Amino acid sequence: MSKLISDKTKQVFLGPLSKNNPITVQVLGICSALAVTAKLMPALVMGISVTIIVAFSNVIISLLRNTIPNRIRIIVQLVVVAALVTIVSEILKAFAYDVSVQLSVYIGLIITNCILMGRLEAFAMGNKPWESFIDGLGNGFGYAWILVVVAFFRELLGSGSILGFKIIPKSFYDAGYSNNGLMILPPMALILVACIIWVHRSRNKELQEK
Amino acid sequence: MNTNKNSYTLIYAVVMVVVVALLLALVSSGLKEKQNENIALDKKKQILSSLRLDMSGQDPAALYDKYIVKELVLNSKGDVLSEKRGDAFAIDVIKQNAKPLEERQLPLYVAEVDGQTKYIISVRGAGLWGPIWGYIALDDDKDTVYGTYFSHESETPGLGAEIATRDFQNRFIGKHIMNAAKEFVSIAVMKAGKVDGTRDQIDAISGGTITSKGVQAMLEKSIGQYEVFLKQ
């Protein structure tokens, strides 16, 4: 095990969770962060699906990296991602029909997620399969936790619930509190992501531009 | 090996496409049966939803067998073409809508709820972004609405998509599709404050005007096909 998780691999895994986060530092995958974070549940499923797909497409591309013709490498990456996404969505349709009806749009959206192409091109094309797998997991989780935090606040303040359960007690509403409709709209996701970036940069001074 | 040669690139692309196509075809055909089962089960659930049953925790297939006592295939003249169970359920409404009215086969589900007969009609139309569909349950006078179910493919969440909520669907309960002279007039979906006058109406969804109009047109067209039967 000690050989499997060397210092470098650890760095590959932990980097994207904070100092090299795909959303807050690399600013990739913002589009889907806006689309699926109005409620917590789709954000969770999206985070998990992206993690699985980025990890496995990283491995596949890493295995093929020495055979892929340079001129069509983007196409090859795209085909691998699209095939994986299609398989995941077919499996969901067969074994979790209700979930797939709710999420079909989001699952299809994974193909267009910039994190996937970014990681395939920047990491998997030049690294061994095991490290690529870890890199995929790290970036997937780095993406997922931002989504979950944003979705948590948007659902809490926008709908007064968490995972569909009412959290804000009725007495609050009676006293004049009302849900913030702005939270449901996409621009609020950008503002929340910006708040996370603000906190993140003030704690990690080396990320600040001069 | 030179991976930059044209011939290599070409062969690589062809092999990749064939392998991926085979893989996807395998997955798709392997899961087809299971997916079709799910789709049929979902259709049964939708039909039952128009009866306003509490289905939580119960098997929809068993409930369907219990409540739906007859499945009829009708034509637009009101004749019964088939009473065999499964025939009406298997009808693809999309394909039927492509035919001229006289040739269409129309599914009708006859349900029994607490000893009373209900007729369930399948409706389908267009919303703002894509198809909308649903089921309407009528009381045994073939006039009063007992319950409705609507769904959609891609209406705007929070606006047009609200037709899929119970709140909207329950607005139809107790409305009449015939006027006092027993002529078929359907039900109007009107902006709050506006009055149709010639027929029963319900409130449209604010911000979902085109989807609301789509529901109104869908009801007129789809229920209209059953007009002769409903007057019998």
Read off the pLDDT of residues B25-35 as tens digits, 9 standing for 90 and up: 999 999 999 99
In a domain, A9, yes or no: no
* Closest residue in B to A181 (Cα–Cα): B158
User: Which residues of B are less than 8 Å from A39 in CB distance?
Assistant: none
A183 three-state secondary structure? helix
Question: Residues, chain B, total?
Answer: 232
Interface pTM, i.e. ipTM:
0.72
Paired with B124 in beta bridges are B133
Amino acid at A106: Y
What is the C-alpha to C-alpha distance for residues B222 and B232, in angstroms, rounded to an integer?
A: 17
Task: Write out residues in chain B with pLDDT < 70, as ranges.
Answer: 1
In a domain, A5, yes or no: no
Give me the helices (H) in B50-111, please.
Answer: 60-67, 87-90, 93-97
pLDDT number for residue B201: 92
Going from N- to C-terminal start, the domains of chain B cover 68-231
Amino acid at B190: M
Average pLDDT, chain A: 84
In a domain, A3, yes or no: no
Task: Provide the domain count of chain A.
Answer: 1
What end-to-end distance do the CA atoms of chain A give, in Å?
A: 41
In this complex, do A97 and B42 lie within 8 Å of one another by their Cβ atoms? yes
C-alpha torsion A49→A51→A53→A56, nearest 10 = -140
Distance from CA of B166 to the nearest CA of A (A): 16
Paired with A165 in beta bridges are A162
Q: Tell me the per-residue pLDDT of A43-76, one tens digit each, with 9 for 90 and over.
A: 888 888 889 999 999 999 999 998 898 888 899 9
Distance from CA of A35 to the nearest CA of B (A): 11
pLDDT number for residue A5: 65
In a domain, A6, yes or no: no
What is the C-alpha to C-alpha distance for residues A208 and A199, in angstroms, rounded to an integer?
A: 11
Domain that holds residue A124: 14-207
- Asked if B13 reaches chain A (Cβ–Cβ under 8 Å), the answer is yes
Substitution target from A91, A97, A155, A159 for chain B, most B beta carbons within 10 A: A97
Model confidence band, residue A1 (pLDDT cutoffs 50, 70, 90): very low
In this complex, do B31 and A90 lie within 8 Å of one another by their Cβ atoms? yes
Amino acid at A135: D
pLDDT number for residue B150: 95
Distance from CA of B38 to the nearest CA of A (A): 6
What end-to-end distance do the CA atoms of chain B give, in Å?
A: 80
Distances (CA, A) of B158 to A139, A149, A181, B211: 32, 22, 11, 12
- Asked if B16 reaches chain A (Cβ–Cβ under 8 Å), the answer is yes
Average pLDDT of the residues in A162-166: 78
Q: Closest partner residue to B16 among A70, A76, A94, by Cβ?
A: A76
pLDDT number for residue A23: 81
User: Which residues of A are less than 8 Å from B8 in CB distance?
Assistant: 69
Distance from CA of A104 to the nearest CA of B (A): 11
What is the C-alpha to C-alpha distance for residues A19 and B85, in angstroms, rounded to an integer?
A: 63
Locate the DSSP E strands across B53-115. 68-74, 80-82, 106-113
In this complex, do B27 and A87 lie within 8 Å of one another by their Cβ atoms? yes
C-alpha torsion B171→B175→B179→B184, nearest 10 = 80
Amino acid at A90: E
Percent of all residues in chain A with a pLDDT value above 70, rounded to a whole number:
96
pTM reported for the whole predicted model: 0.73
pLDDT number for residue A210: 67
Beta strands B106-113; B116-126: pairing state = antiparallel
Q: Closest partner residue to A72 among B9, B24, B42, by Cβ?
A: B9
Q: Could you tell me how many helices (H) and strands (E) chain A has, helices first? A: 9, 2
In this complex, do B13 and A72 lie within 8 Å of one another by their Cβ atoms? yes
Percent of all residues in chain A with a pLDDT value above 90, rounded to a whole number:
22
